[in-house]
Amino acid sequence: MTRILTKRRVTLLSAVAIAVVVIATVLVIQALSTSIVEVSSASVTYQDPMTAYATFTNIGSYYVRADCANLTLANQCALLVSLSLVNNNFYTRSISLKVSNVVTSTLAVGVSTYTEPPQQFTVGYGTDGLNTRLVTIAPSFVAPGGTWTFTVYIFNPPAVSGKPALNLSVGGQVVENHFLGRTLDLQSSFPLPSST
């Protein structure tokens, strides 16, 4: 009889130990998989005063080109914005563009948005503090790799002496495409035209 009770105690203790290990493992996996790591661009280079590249080492790059040629007549700037990931080790969760130092400006995403692979997306507009405008684009599903290219129109853009004075921040969340993949929060800020 004592032997049966001892076996039951050992079995019960084993079950409790296994349950503790499973719960601890689940908590560690959840903590690691939901961690967000902020990544600032390694560099911002200018192709010309109105075109910038923000590079994120071993992840991808943002390309932003502003067309504000008729600023006094049209009172708008069109920004061609593209996020390209270097390989299929990452997939896109969201992309954002923020314009700072604006008072009366509004943003609109053009209908000519292109994605590779093709997919639907949602667009959200808002603010991120005083005198800012923000647009966020999120895919309907996440797919490895890819390129997102879209046009954002800035109506009533900030200008100095009839020339654009854009303070931009691009961002996005990409997730590593493997077990326990981290979410990387990409961030880069720069002026257009370039200050040099």
Task: Kindly report, residue by residue over 96-148, the tens digit of the pLDDT.
Answer: 999 998 888 899 998 666 666 567 788 899 998 889 999 998 887 776 777 88
Asked, as a colleague might, if the bond just before 49 is cis with ω within 30 of 0, I would say no
Kindly tell me if the per-residue pLDDT of 14 is higher than 60.
Answer: yes
Residue 24 vs residue 127, higher pLDDT:
127
Alpha-carbon gap, residue 18 to 20, rounded angstroms: 5
Tell me the CA end-to-end span of the chain in Å, nearest whole number: 88
pLDDT for the residue 129: 83
Alpha-carbon gap, residue 31 to 180, rounded angstroms: 9
